[in-house]
Every structure is written in C-alpha cells, then in structure tokens.
Structure 1
Amino acid sequence: MRAGRDSAAVDGVDLDQSHIVEALAQLRERSQATVRDRWHATRFNLMLAAQAGLAAGLAWALSNDLLRNPDPVFAPIAAIGTIAGSVGQRLRRSVELIIGVAVGIGIGDLLIYVIGSGAWQLGIIVALAIVLTIFLGGGPAVVNQAAATAILITVLTPASPDVELLRVIDALIGGFVALGVIALLLPFNPLRLVDRAAQPALDRLADQLNETAEALATHDAPRAQRALDRLTEIEEYMDGLQEALEGGRETTILSPARWHRRGALSQYFEGAEFINHAVQNSGTLVRRAVTALEDGEPIPSSLSSAVAALADAVRMLRHDLGVGTLPKAARQCALSAVTAAGRAYKDGVGFSGSVVVAQVRTTASDLLRATGIERVEANRLVRWAVGRDVGPGEPAGTAPRSD
C-alpha cells in the first residue's frame, strides 16, 4: 500500500491531484468559452429582436387601424416570419410567404367547393397543398405556409366569409412591413454584422495558432493536441460568417443608408473563401505539429515563430477587414511567417516538421488572398519571403509592393 502511494507521486507531486487540477482548469476554460459564445450570440441578435418587435407592432397597426381588419393575426406573424428567416434570405422569405398563402388559398377553396369541409376533408386538403407546393419547387417555408393557409381556409371559411382575402392582405402587409423595417427603419450595419460573425472564428483560429506556437516552443504535445481539438470547432462559426455575409449583401441592396458599405463588404465577401481555406490548412498544420512533437522530431525556435506570426496575421486581417481598411499589416505578418518557416527548414526539421513548414506557406498564401491579392502575386510574394535570409529575432523586413 505504501509502495502504491509512493508510485503515485513524483518529486513530491501527487499525480492524481495534478490530473484533477488540470481537468478543473480545462472545465473552467470551456465554461468561460461557453459564456463568451452565448454573450456574443445575444449581442449579435439584439438588432434582430428590435427589428422583429418593431415589424410586428407596425404590421398589426397598419392592418387593424388603417385597413380596418378586426383581427389581423397573420400580419404580425408574417412580419416575424420574414424577420426570423435566415439573414440574407429575407426578401426571398417574404416572397415565399405570399406564394405559400396563394397556394393554400387556391387548394383550399377548390377542394372545399368540391368535397366540402370536415376532418377528413382537412387531411386531404393539407396533403394536396404540400404535394403541389413541393412539385412546384417550393422550399420548406413555402410548404409550411401553404399547409397552414389551407388549414385556416378549411376551418375558418364557413364561419368567416372572405377570410381568404384578409389573409392575403395580411401576408402582404406583414412581409412588406418587415422589409421596410429592415431596409429603412432599423437596417443592420452590414460591416459590423459580418465582423461580429467573423470574430469568434478568426479569434479562435488566432488563439489556437498561438497555442500551437507555444506548444512547439515548449515541446508540449498535449498542449498542441488541445489546440487541435478546439480548432475543429471553428467550422460552425464559418457557417455563421457565410450567413452574415449574405445578410450584409442583402442589406446593402435593400437599404440606401448602407449603400456606402458595399466596397468594404465586397472585400470581406471576396476574402471569405480564402479565410475558409486558411482554417482548413491550419488544421493540417496543427495536426502535423502534434505528430512532430509526439515523435520527438527536432523543433527549431524559428518554427514556433512562424506559427506565431500566422496568428498575428489572422488578428490583423480580422481587424482591418472589420474597419474597412486595406489589410497591409496582415500581409506583412503572413510574409514574416513564411520567412520564419523557411529559416526553420534550413535549421533542420523532421518529416512532420517539414509538413508544418509547407502548411505555414500555404496558409500564409490563403491569408494573402484574403487581403485581396491575386493568386499570381500572392505566390510571388511567398517565393520572395522564402528567399529572405533573416537571422533569428530579426524582423522580416518590408515586402515588395502588392497594392
């Protein structure tokens, strides 16, 4: 028993206790990340909540007070349906609402006239409305709207004549009021919308590249593995970024007050593809870094410097794109990463280390493309940076003009 206790301690440190401390530290880090992500999501959707509230109130008031509709329930519902549609698809959402109403009314009226109303008639009408809508190529929103309209027409028509016309009017009012709120009264700032969506993805990418750089510097394979595990979570944020880009583009089309943001947003839009490539290539980079550390390969300090410079490039890219300026600082950091990686290759790396060097170059090229540089020019700059003979601790210098 005594020997067992002695074997569980090394240099006076209880291994069980150290594992518990490490587990608690990881749990605390995950909890902080979860709270941070939830707060980010709440901030991101505050404008959405304000738009929905304003659109619902205006739709009700317009239908009830101006058009004398005594029970305009569907007007605010249609408005909220439009606002709640995926950001970047609200114009399409409004059109889908109106198409769904038209299909539901057509099917409901025709079949009520032929087979009457009742429980089994309701089932047939709803089924046929769904089948017809799918046959016509309608998406889920159109299908749901057609089915809901068919139900209301079947149930309410005998007791409330002309409910069809009121429902069409409500759909038109709700959809167009929502578009008016989006375009004129409370339009998103498209650049801020996109920047907030990009923040969790790019910040996490930069953080995990930094963690990998530190792991390489300290030869800490478990730390690099944790960075790899966290890096895999970025994909879900990239989906949010694409949706935000669509929303930003829609806003610059619909809202005259946001037309001046088109240039800055187009730069973000064109760079999104290469940001996604950078995320994927960074995953390969970190994975091979883990292997290099686990296999005990030589890890020159310049390799850690290269990965750290990539992290700086990501941060600079996000900052400059977010404020709508030319990302010159991101370009310089990316080229510094390539220079340091070239020095690491000369200093001597193993097989996995050489893959890390290659991935630094590839990721740096992706980041250069994300800053607006064309492929041929990006490749030229990378080759230039590889040829730089820079000593340890010495800055990479100024790249040739790329703008």
Structure 2
Amino acid sequence: MTPQPPASSGSPEHDAKRGRRLIGRIRIDRSRVPARLRAPLHRLRVSIVPVLQCALGAGLAWWIATEIFGHTHPFFAPIAAVISLGLSAGRRWRRALEVAAGVTVGVAVGDLIISVIGSGTWQIMVVVAIAMSAAVLVDKGQLVPIQAASSAVLVATLLPPGGVEGFNRMIDAFTGGVVAIVVIALMPTHPVLRARRDAADVLATIADVLSDVAGGLRQMDQDRVRSALEHARGTQSGIDEMRTDLSGGKEISKISPLHWANHSRFDRLAAVADPLDNAVRNVRVLARRAAGAVENGEPIQPEIIELVADLGHASYVLNDMMLADPGQSPDQADGARVLRSIARRSGKSLVADSGLTETVILAQVRSTLVDLLMVCGLTRVSAMATLR
C-alpha cells in the first residue's frame, strides 16, 4: 500500500483531525467528574460571585444601618440588598430600585392603614390590596407590587407600626438598594466571561447532538438519534440563560468602572446570540429529520453523514474558541477555517438525485454552517458566500 502524505495545514483532512483531537480532549476532561455532579458544580461555578456579592451586600447594608444611622433592628436593609442582588446577572440596578420602591410603598401603606384600622384577617387583606395597587401606580415593574405587599404584611403582623419606625424602615430599604448597586459596580461579575461560558455550553450541546445524530445514522440506531433529538430540544433554556447574562453583562459594563474598557468586546459577544440561537434551531430540524429517516429505515449517503459528523467536530472547535482569551488559540479565524473546509464539501450536487430527507439534512447543514460562521465573526453575506 502506498503511504499517504500527511494532510497539509488548512486542508479538510487536517481540520477534521484537529476537531477530533479536540473532541477527545474535551471528553476526557468531562469524564473526570461524575455525571450527577456536573450540573450542580456548573451551577456553583457560575454563581459563586453572585453568592459572595449577596453576602457582602447584606453585611454592609446591616453595618451602615446600625453603625451610621443607629437603627437597632434594620431588618429591611440586608433583605433589600440580598433581593436586589440575587443570583441572576440580569438588570440588577433596576431590581435594586424596584425593591427599594416596593418596600417604601409597603411600609408607608402598612404603617398608615394599620395604625388606623388595627391588625387582623380582613385588615391584612385590605393592606395588601392597597399596597399592591399603590405600587402598580408607582412603577410598572413586577417586583414592586410583590415587595410592597410583603412589606405591608410584615408591618401588619410582626412589626409594630409607628411614625419613626416606619420612616427608619424606608431608610433601611433605600440603604439596601444603594448598597446593592455599589456592590455591583465595585465587585462585578465579569460582563463577558459568564455569557462566554453560556455560549460555549450551547456550542458543546450542538456538537454532542450532531455527533450522536451522525453515529445514529451510520448504525441506523433509532434510540441514539431520538436521544440526540431530545437533547437538542432541551437547549432553549441555555439560550435564554445566555441572553439573560448578556443583558446583565451590558448593565455591568455601563455601571462598573472596572469594565468600561470591555464595551467593544462585549458588543462582539452580543452579536453571537442570534446566530447561535438560529444554529440551535437548525440543528433541531436536522435531528428531527434524521430521526424520521432512521424510523422509516431510510439510509442516508455516507458523504452527508460525514458532513454532519464534521460539523459536530467544528462545533467543539468553536466551543474552545468561545472559552479562549484574546490572543489564545483557537480564535475566530481557526473556527472559520474549519467551517469553510466543511462548506467546500457541502455542495448541492450531493443531493442532485436524492429524496426529500437527504435534501433537508444537507440544507440544515448548510444553514447551520452560515450561522456558525457568523458566530466566528463573519457577516451573513460573507458566510453565505462560502456556500457556492
């Protein structure tokens, strides 16, 4: 047998081998952690900074209320700080203002009404109704009425109403909200890192789904393709989380002086959201069509199956690209190079004499290529131009 020369850098064979090497490395890294611990550890990893922010905010709000304002039981100060910060990265400054407004309205209404009509079952119903109605008039946010109602209930049941005490509670709520905003500004979550990880997780899911679809089509394994389809259908929560973290990152990059220089980098990442969402949708259609083909015993030509597999390999490269810091490899150029090598082999001639199923699968491969090329920084026109 005549030995084959090594594949040159940039060739389709070289890119495919590189993608497979990345697959092996990523799967080895994941295998070190038991499957049942991966999701909890991931949640802890992405939440550790918000947890520390909540702890710091609660303590600082309590200290300010007790040591500076001299309040003896500033219950609302740490509560307002914790609720304002929470574990979500999205729109925290808005939530801080809503908490402060809601508590203020609730305490004011509770003090005023309870001091006149007293406490009891019907009095609580009246106080809650009035507090929530007043909050709706004050602000359109959903959190304001809830905070107003809960604060009014506390005043009606546990906390004695009173002029000075009521005023102090308003100050405490305002203190907690201000402390929350200060903590966000001075101890922010990284506005880019969390959204990058979300995007990388979505890309890893795309890669897993495409790899399983390709394997199921080769072996006509109905269970494997069905499992891949269910996996693809469960990706919307990841997309939603990425968009939430992008919203929170945009907010942080505006209010935190530590990240004012990250505007351009954040804008580039924000441009990834729509193409990545579209890629996930195309992969779902591809997996659904593949599942139908296997269920009907309809074979798919090997060239198309290899395109699906290689697109999965490329998605792992993009997963690494998304996690890489500026200047590290793989970068957007590396990701686009791998995708272009697949695009060169995904011409319409592959399905010139094929039926609907192979045509749809190839069409979804081509559409996903365009979306992922846009994730790599290409414009839609440039991405579509690769599919001659």
Instruction: Please state which band the TM-score falls in when normalised by the shorter chain.
Output: 0.7 to 0.9
The equivalent of 1:277 in structure 2 is: 278
The equivalent of 2:292 in structure 1 is: 291
The equivalent of 1:41 in structure 2 is: 43
Alpha-carbon distance, 1:138 to partner: 3.3
Question: 1:62-101 counterparts in 2 under 5 A?
Answer: 62-84=64-86, 86-101=88-103
Q: Contact (CA 8 Å) 2:110, 2:161: kept in 1 or not?
A: no
**Distance in 2 between the 1:154 and 1:163 partners?**
13
Q: Contact (CA 8 Å) 2:85, 2:96: kept in 1 or not?
A: no
**Distance in 2 between the 1:240 and 1:368 partners?**
22
Which amino acid is 1:379 matched to?
Answer: M
Alpha-carbon distance, 1:55 to partner: 1.0
Which amino acid is 1:337 matched to?
Answer: I
Consecutive unaligned residues of structure 2, counting only runs of 5 or more, are 1-30
- Provide closer, same or farther for how the CA distance between residues 233 and 139 of structure 1 changes in structure 2, counting only shifts above 3 A: same
Q: Which protein shows a greater Rg?
A: 1
Deviations 1:155-185 (A, max 9, x none): 577565412221121112111112212211x
The partner residue of 2:57 within 34, 48, 55 is 55
- Provide closer, same or farther for how the CA distance between residues 157 and 221 of structure 1 changes in structure 2, counting only shifts above 3 A: closer
Alpha-carbon distance, 1:364 to partner: 0.8
**Distance in 1 between the 2:61 and 2:224 partners?**
54
Alpha-carbon distance, 1:343 to partner: 7.2
Question: 1:4-403 counterparts in 2 under 5 A?
Answer: 33-84=35-86, 86-112=88-114, 115-119=116-120, 120-154=122-156, 160-184=162-186, 186-323=187-324, 325=326, 327-342=332-347, 345=350, 349-383=354-388
Q: Contact (CA 8 Å) 1:208, 1:231: kept in 2 or not?
A: yes
User: What is the TM-score when the length of structure 2 is the normalising length?
Assistant: 0.83
Q: Contact (CA 8 Å) 1:306, 1:336: kept in 2 or not?
A: no
Deviations 1:194-216 (A, max 9, x none): 12323332211111111112223
Q: Secondary structure at the match of 1:209?
A: helix
**Distance in 2 between the 1:316 and 1:336 partners?**
13
Alpha-carbon distance, 1:53 to partner: 0.9
**Distance in 1 between the 2:62 and 2:345 partners?**
63
- Provide closer, same or farther for how the CA distance between residues 80 and 111 of structure 1 changes in structure 2, counting only shifts above 3 A: same
**Distance in 2 between the 1:247 and 1:356 partners?**
36
- Provide closer, same or farther for how the CA distance between residues 298 and 283 of structure 1 changes in structure 2, counting only shifts above 3 A: same
Which amino acid is 1:365 matched to?
Answer: V
Q: Secondary structure at the match of 2:377?
A: coil
Deviations 1:223-260 (A, max 9, x none): 22221122111112212111111121122112111223
Q: How big is the alpha-carbon RMSD for the aligned residues of Structure 1 and Structure 2? A: 2.5
The equivalent of 2:26 in structure 1 is: none
**Distance in 1 between the 2:242 and 2:154 partners?**
38
- Provide closer, same or farther for how the CA distance between residues 51 and 344 of structure 1 changes in structure 2, counting only shifts above 3 A: farther
Q: Percent identity?
A: 33
The equivalent of 1:398 in structure 2 is: none
Which amino acid is 2:94 matched to?
Answer: R
The equivalent of 2:6 in structure 1 is: none
- Provide closer, same or farther for how the CA distance between residues 290 and 360 of structure 1 changes in structure 2, counting only shifts above 3 A: same
Deviations 1:272-331 (A, max 9, x none): 011011001101111112223333434232212211222233223333233355512222
Alpha-carbon distance, 1:137 to partner: 4.8
Aligned length: 352
**Distance in 2 between the 1:46 and 1:157 partners?**
33
Alpha-carbon distance, 1:90 to partner: 0.7
- Provide closer, same or farther for how the CA distance between residues 159 and 139 of structure 1 changes in structure 2, counting only shifts above 3 A: closer
- Provide closer, same or farther for how the CA distance between residues 322 and 264 of structure 1 changes in structure 2, counting only shifts above 3 A: farther
Q: Contact (CA 8 Å) 2:285, 2:364: kept in 1 or not?
A: yes
Alpha-carbon distance, 1:143 to partner: 1.0
Q: Contact (CA 8 Å) 1:303, 1:344: kept in 2 or not?
A: no
Alpha-carbon distance, 1:52 to partner: 0.9
Greater RCO between the two (CA within 8 Å, min separation 6)?
2
